[in-house]
Amino acid sequence: MRRGFLRMPLSPIQPSPVPTPEAALAPTLVPIPDGHIGCCERVGLSELLKILRNAGESTPSPQPVIFQVPPKATQPNEITTTCITIPETREKLLSKGPYPPINSSEGCRIRVVDVPGKGKGCVSTSVIPRGALIIRERPLVIAPTVMAFPGNFDRTVARAMPPGARAALLSLNNCYEDKVIGVLRTNNWGIGALPGHDAPYGGTGAIISRINHSCAPNALFRWNEDMFAAEVRALRPIARGEEVTMCYVPELEGYASRQARLRDAYGFTCTCELCMRAPPVRALSDHRRSQLEGLTAHYDELPDGRVWAWARDVGAPDDALLGALEEQAVMMERELYVRPEGWLTVARPLVKIYCALGNTVAARRWAVCAASYTRAATGTDGGWEAVARVPEQTIWWGARAKTSGR
Ligand SMILES: [Zn+2]
């Protein structure tokens, strides 16, 4: 769910607008990025059933149509996506192209291997820094996750697919009876709504869908609408040969709830680092996670107004706002928590606070953190790399020192 930030009126400390020669030469202020980010979730069966039950009351969906995007491959071995949508979405997607050809082996940093106890999985082929692209892949199929398909639809989709793509799709894991639809249900990653159809869609890729689950994952899925491709980016530094994992369930839920979801939708028991903790440690972890769930919601980010109020309050201690944020950061580290939206609720205010205190090293460290998590979620640094280079040129710089007359 997307939520706006609580905003308080600001009276920002701006440089003097008087056009003196010094002001003309003064460096431009580096803007502190605003706005928030959202991330794609894997849509599990239990979520689907919930949505389906709610959708049952609305008008019936239009008949599905099947087509390829792009309509023709322009390069050898290029994957075209078999799309199952409604007619209006077909027109919109086809008129929006041409989409650039995607070669999933280009710049790809993983390979599919046998992982003991898990069937197939993906391991990294190089050291990957946080935020970096691991793979960009055009899906084999995209389809709505809640559409009622006609009885013979399985065969219709299989026939509509190019033979190579069909073979790749059918080689994926299947937790259900339907041959094609079952593979899609088992392996799809949520890509959100498509133009012209406000319904959740899922994409299934030859390589991306091989990435296994972990409750403490090191990678994140996102849908790149402009390229019509799925992307996976690192959520923390990944070593060469390390297994790349993504989380299939809401990460901050407790152990029992995560395991129940995974058994229900995918038929396995998770043995990740977090789930293998001893029961007393696990109980503590569940408690911390429920605390984090409240703390990491977007709308709980420390508002700028409060940071300005502290910066100007001569009586407030310098570390008045730091304690709670740094405590939260320690808890997230301990919980192996890596969601960008959660880390940004800590990193962004910390950049402002350390800028206000005139602490270059700490301001840079948190700006680098904000840049890499923003890149993991959105594909770009969102302006934080500029802040990391010159925190001294942000509007927050030295705000506290000015107040206390130092
Ligand atoms: Zn787990």
Q: Where are the domains of the chain?
A: 61-266, 296-404
Helix axes 163-170, 180-187, angle to 10 degrees: 60
Q: Tell me how far the alpha carbon of residue 215 lies from the centroid of ligand 1, in angstroms.
A: 4
CB 37 within 8 A of CB 340: yes
Higher-confidence residue of 222 and 47: namely: 222
Helices then strands, counting H and E runs in the chain, come out as 14, 12
The most distant pair of C-alpha atoms in the chain lies apart, rounded to whole Å, by 77
Give me the pLDDT at residue 73, please: 83
Give me the pLDDT at residue 375, please: 96
Q: Tell me how far the alpha carbon of residue 258 lies from the centroid of ligand 1, in angstroms.
A: 7
Position 21 pLDDT exceeds 50: no
Give me the pLDDT at residue 145, please: 83
Q: How far apart are CA 89 and CA 71, in angstroms?
A: 14
Q: What is the pLDDT of residues 283-325, one digit of tens each?
A: 999 999 999 988 887 667 899 999 999 999 999 999 999 999 9
Q: Tell me how far the alpha carbon of residue 125 lies from the centroid of ligand 1, in angstroms.
A: 24
Selection from 184, 143, 145, 130 nearest residue 54 by Cα: 145
Q: Tell me how far the alpha carbon of residue 117 lies from the centroid of ligand 1, in angstroms.
A: 14
Give me the pLDDT at residue 23, please: 40
Q: Tell me how far the alpha carbon of residue 271 lies from the centroid of ligand 1, in angstroms.
A: 5
Q: Tell me how far the alpha carbon of residue 216 lies from the centroid of ligand 1, in angstroms.
A: 7
Task: Name the average pLDDT for the chain.
Answer: 85
Residue with tokens 């959520």: 235
The pLDDT-based confidence of 6 (bands split at 50, 70, 90) is very low
Higher-confidence residue of 403 and 194: namely: 194
Helix (H) or strand (E) holding 119: strand 119-124
- Helix ranges restricted to H, 296-357: 304-312, 322-334, 340-356
Q: Tell me how far the alpha carbon of residue 108 lies from the centroid of ligand 1, in angstroms.
A: 26
Position 360 pLDDT exceeds 90: yes
Q: How far apart are CA 33 and CA 255, in angstroms?
A: 35
Q: How far apart are CA 309 and CA 321, in angstroms?
A: 11
The average pLDDT across 241-253 equals 94
Q: How far apart are CA 211 and CA 266, in angstroms?
A: 13
The average pLDDT across 43-50 equals 49
Q: Tell me how far the alpha carbon of residue 275 lies from the centroid of ligand 1, in angstroms.
A: 4
Q: What are the two backbone dihedrals, phi and then psi, of residue 395, each rounded to the nearest 5 degrees?
A: -65, -20
Q: Tell me how far the alpha carbon of residue 46 lies from the centroid of ligand 1, in angstroms.
A: 18
Q: Tell me how far the alpha carbon of residue 331 lies from the centroid of ligand 1, in angstroms.
A: 18
Q: Tell me how far the alpha carbon of residue 247 lies from the centroid of ligand 1, in angstroms.
A: 9
Residues 6+ apart with CB under 8 A from 388: 364, 367, 368, 371
- Percent of the chain residues topping a pLDDT of 90: 63
Q: Give the pair of three-digit tokens for residue 352.
A: 């402002």
Q: Give the pair of three-digit tokens for residue 54.
A: 């709610």
Q: Tell me how far the alpha carbon of residue 337 lies from the centroid of ligand 1, in angstroms.
A: 12
Q: Tell me how far the alpha carbon of residue 128 lies from the centroid of ligand 1, in angstroms.
A: 22
Position 243 pLDDT exceeds 80: yes
Q: How far apart are CA 201 and CA 184, in angstroms?
A: 11
Statement: 61-266 belongs to CATH 3.40.50.1370: no
Q: How far apart are CA 313 and CA 318, in angstroms?
A: 10
Q: Tell me how far the alpha carbon of residue 79 lies from the centroid of ligand 1, in angstroms.
A: 33
Query: What is the chain's Cα-based Rg?
Result: 24
Give me the pLDDT at residue 9, please: 29
- Alpha-carbon distances of 36 from 296, 351, 378, 402, rounded to whole Å: 12, 15, 10, 29
Q: Tell me how far the alpha carbon of residue 332 lies from the centroid of ligand 1, in angstroms.
A: 16
Q: Give the pair of three-digit tokens for residue 96.
A: 């929006």
Give me the pLDDT at residue 12, please: 32
Position 256 pLDDT exceeds 50: yes
Q: Tell me how far the alpha carbon of residue 272 lies from the centroid of ligand 1, in angstroms.
A: 4
